[in-house]
Structure 1
Amino acid sequence: MDSPVIAVFSGGTSSEREVSLGSGQACAAALEKSFRVERFQIDADALPAGLDPQRHVVFSTLHGTFGEDGGMQRLLDAAGMHYAGCDAVSSALTMDKTLTKETAAAKGIKVIPGVTFPAAKKPRPEQVIEQFGERVVVKPNAEGSSVGLNLVGSREELTRVLDVIQNGRWIIERRIFGRELAVGVLNGRAMGVVEIRPKSGVYDYASKYTKGMTNYLAPAPLDAALTQKIQAAAQTAFAACGCRDYARVDFILGDDHELYLLEINTLPGMKETSLLPMSARCEGIDFTALVKAMVTPAVQRFHAARASRNP
């Protein structure tokens, strides 16, 4: 049976467009070693022209709004397209940080205490301080790549941050100090644990995407029992949120020795130096093998659907 053409999506309309363009370029080059590939640069919240559900399987590297929140996935489903990665329901769930926390907490995973609110109903600074103290994190409920992340250390800073919030839903959480960790999950199985050590002390957008601003330890220097605990938590969160094929699960190991879920990224950065590929390399899986493994379940779904139509 002929293999499908892999349609690699990159770009998109979110604040993470430039990151996506880099991911798409790297993944397309890797996929070309095993498949026929066509590249599609996405410039609107719509499917590109030229897609054929009888011919293409989509490998999307779109990040953030519309690409990662279920919007593109719903369009692909409606068009009868097979695609790699999480479906529309789990994509929408995991893009919502509050819903992700609630879903994971129901399975016994520890999450950071916080409150979610719409911009029109911002809490007063004194309410926040009474509940969580002055050292808090303020961030959008549904953005990636640390877009809009604010680390607050005083009442004055909190007042300033709240004053500039104009729209959307936001989260305020108690700030947990500790070690930031990322775990790639491939077909339900957790790979290596990567530790993230930003030189500035804050893993914000600049620390993520400016060369030399962050050190990465892959694998993280953790004992075997703790590594296994983190991997098990990643697998549990992945399954609880209905994820499929692959994702990246982020945690913080607090100075209180507790492990807290931060978020699940269903379409994480996919350059060779990104966290998911780092996690895979801990298991001896190089970038080309990883990207092939990421798309393979979608190719299998494509073939299964064709076989069922033509028994």
Structure 2
Amino acid sequence: MIAVLMGGNSAEREVSLNSGNAVYDALKNQGVECFKFNWHGNNLAKLWVQDFDKAFIVLHGRGGEDGYIQRQLEQHNIAYTGSNAIASQQCMNKATTKDIWQQHNLPLSSSILVKVGQQTPNINFPLPWAVKPILEGSSVGISKVETTEALNKALELAWQYDEIALVEQWIEGSEYTVAILNGKPLPVIQIKINQGFYDYESKYLSNDTQYLCPCGLSNADEKELQKIAMQAFTAMGAKTWGRVDFILDRDNTPYLLEINTVPGMTSHSLMPMAAQAQGISFDALVLAILNNE
């Protein structure tokens, strides 16, 4: 029996519910015995009284991707999908992720951390800047800062979600993502938006965002991105499935943005799209994640 864990109490609750329902339907379609568990953040006691062998984690953001639910399952000796608690915690924290990637000489933009209440330090890399909370997903709380005067407002927004904000050099260019499934990269997807940047609305609400697969890169450039994505994924200790996001500047130089250990599984989601391009149906993708093969 499989428990499909969805919901949670993060900013991405609604997306998780959509993802979870899609995963549940896919398992049911294939005759897998399963049930849905809508986690609210404080009702885990109801999960432990259920009889199940493995959890399929489809919780996005805090609680689901930061190692918390993974630790709870480990303490109850229950198997689960995806990365373990330590890797999940490290991948969720943008500052930790950048530190680890830097140690592995992976391509990154310049950045600093600013703690709530701390005097803003001098920033020695050029405008514009991206300001983001270090522990949110789905581009929640992110601002693009074009003038030094606008920095404080952006920090205040980021601090609503976390007491530490990451300020990094904004790289103008095109966004790409590489999904990874069981040790292999899937075809690269280019994300094209009409205006602004790839924020929450572009990801989940807009029908104007375009996803290009084939991604439009040369074969060599696509392979290079896939190679860096695998290095980034492995460096973090991530397992089974995930997604590594990039931006390529106007010279096609890649910069790593972030890693997702429980990517979206909705109709707008990139992981299923990349799998489809590889000839893997949604149902087959769900089964591959469940069985780690």
* Counterpart contact for 1:116–1:170, Cα < 8 Å: yes
TM normalised by structure 1 equals 0.89
* Counterpart contact for 1:47–1:75, Cα < 8 Å: no
* Counterpart contact for 2:193–2:202, Cα < 8 Å: yes
1:265 to 255, 260, 263: 260
Q: Distance in 2 between matches of 1:259 and 1:160?
A: 29
Q: What corresponds to 1:7 in structure 2? A: 3
Q: How many residue pairs are counted as aligned between the two chains?
A: 290
Residue type of the partner of 1:155? Answer: T
Q: What corresponds to 1:132 in structure 2? A: 125
Q: CA deviation at 1:209?
A: 1.2
Q: Distance in 2 between matches of 1:191 and 1:52?
A: 38
Q: CA deviation at 1:73?
A: 0.5
Residue type of the partner of 1:169? Answer: I
SS in 1 for 2:186: strand
Q: Distance in 2 between matches of 1:17 and 1:50?
A: 18
Deviates further, 22-31 or 278-287: 278-287
Structure 2's unaligned 5+ residue stretches are none
Residue type of the partner of 2:250? Answer: D
Q: What corresponds to 1:189 in structure 2? A: 184
Deviates further, 147-156 or 159-168: 159-168
Q: Distance in 2 between matches of 1:122 and 1:67?
A: 32
Q: CA deviation at 1:45?
A: 4.5
- Identity over aligned residues, as a percent? 38
| Aligned-pair Cα RMSD in Å | 1.7
For the pair 1:49 / 2:46, whether they are aligned, the reply is yes
- Structure with larger Rg: 1
For the pair 1:283 / 2:283, whether they are aligned, the reply is no
Report matched runs for 1:204-283 at 5 Å: 204-283=199-278
Q: What corresponds to 2:163 in structure 1? A: 168
Q: Distance in 1 between matches of 2:231 and 2:127?
A: 32
TM normalised by structure 2 equals 0.94
Residue type of the partner of 1:154? Answer: T
Q: CA deviation at 1:112?
A: 1.2
Q: What corresponds to 1:292 in structure 2? A: 287
- 1:95-143: CA deviations, max 9, x gaps? 011111121222231011100122121415xx23xx1223100000110
Q: Distance in 2 between matches of 1:25 and 1:291?
A: 12
Shift of the 178–32 alpha-carbon distance from structure 1 to 2, 3 Å rule, reads: same
Q: Distance in 2 between matches of 1:191 and 1:143?
A: 25
Structure 1's unaligned 5+ residue stretches are 301-311
* Counterpart contact for 1:46–1:72, Cα < 8 Å: no
